[in-house]
Structure 1
Amino acid sequence: MQDINLKITDRNGDTHEIVAPTDMSMNLMEVIRSFELADEGTIGVCGGMAMCASCQVYITGGAEKLVPMDAEEDAMLSEAFHVEDNSRLSCQIRISPEIDGLEVAIAPYP
């Protein structure tokens, strides 16, 4: 088992240094939910199926650590609110040793 360090800025602008496990097959959206960094019902509304963009985050550091987004994620972001060049869906970011040190900010909820 290997834990990784993440910096997550919530919607209030507070930054949280999180230690997340890599052995639980989690994605970033699930980590955000488990640490209660967003109000209940405002993140992962679709359950992590890349169908709602409520889990959108801005990658503020370590973008080179991520695998490129697939067509499904890109299509969902093309229809979402508050999209920036560094937007990603946190449900599509797997918690793995490769993303250790990733920094994100949770996008505003529509």
Structure 2
Amino acid sequence: MLKLKFIGNDETVYDLEVSPGSSVMENAVRNSVPGIEAECGGACACATCHVYVDPDWMAKVGEPEPMEEDMLDFAIDVRANSRLSCQIEMRDELDGLTVRIPERQG
């Protein structure tokens, strides 16, 4: 199991233990983390699973693919560390990953 931390816009911390191969979004939905709606179910067809990746993790998470970049245009308050959580697959290198939920989503 891997560790994954969500920080809500009210600073509530959600510490999860997750399986490798699952997406950050899937784990948020499974654990009822507020602010991750995932209206498209993880098809990268909406921006309702937008998160901010902790800057310390950006290099390991990597840059978004072009399709994800296009969908981020629909998110509110996009930043350099914005990602769609449906596009981040948990793997050993991401054990301990921390993401923040944007204020307007929570």
Q: Shorter chain as normaliser: what TM range?
A: 0.7 to 0.9
- State which of 21, 45, 62 in structure 1 corresponds to 2:57: 62
Q: Quick check: 1:11–1:38 contact (8 Å CA) kept in 2?
A: no
1: distance between equivalents of 2:33 and 2:9?
Answer: 8
List alignment gaps of at least 5 residues for structure 1: none
Counterpart position of 2:98: 103
Pairwise CA distance, 1:19: 1.2
Return the letter of the residue paired with 1:43. E
After superposition, the C-alpha distances for 1:5-62 in whole angstroms (9 at most, x for unaligned) are 122112432012211111xx320001001111126xx510011111111000001241
Structure 1 residue 69: Cα displacement: 1.0
- Percent of aligned pairs with the same residue? 31
CA-atom RMSD in angstroms = 1.8
How far does residue 85 in structure 1 lie from its aligned partner after superposition?
1.5
Instruction: Flag as ranges the 4+ runs of structure 1 deviating above 6 A.
Output: none
Alignment pair present for 1:34 and 2:30: yes
Q: Counterpart of 1:51?
A: 45
CA positional deviation for 1:91:
0.2
**SS at structure 1 position matched to 2:105:** coil
Aligned pair count reads 104
- Kept in 2, the 8 Å contact 1:59–1:104? The answer is yes
| TM-aligned CA deviation for residue 77 of structure 1 | 0.7
Quick check: 1:84 aligned with 2:79? yes
How far apart are the structure 2 equivalents of 1:10 and 1:78?
Answer: 22
Equivalent-residue separation in structure 2 for 1:67 and 1:82 (angstroms): 20
Counterpart code for 1:27? S
Name the CA distance, whole Å, in 1 between partners of 2:43 and 2:71. Answer: 10
Scaled by the length of structure 1, what TM-score is found?
0.84
The amino acid that maps onto 2:22 is M
Q: Is the 8 A contact 2:5 2:97 kept in 1?
A: yes
Match of 1:75 in 2: 70
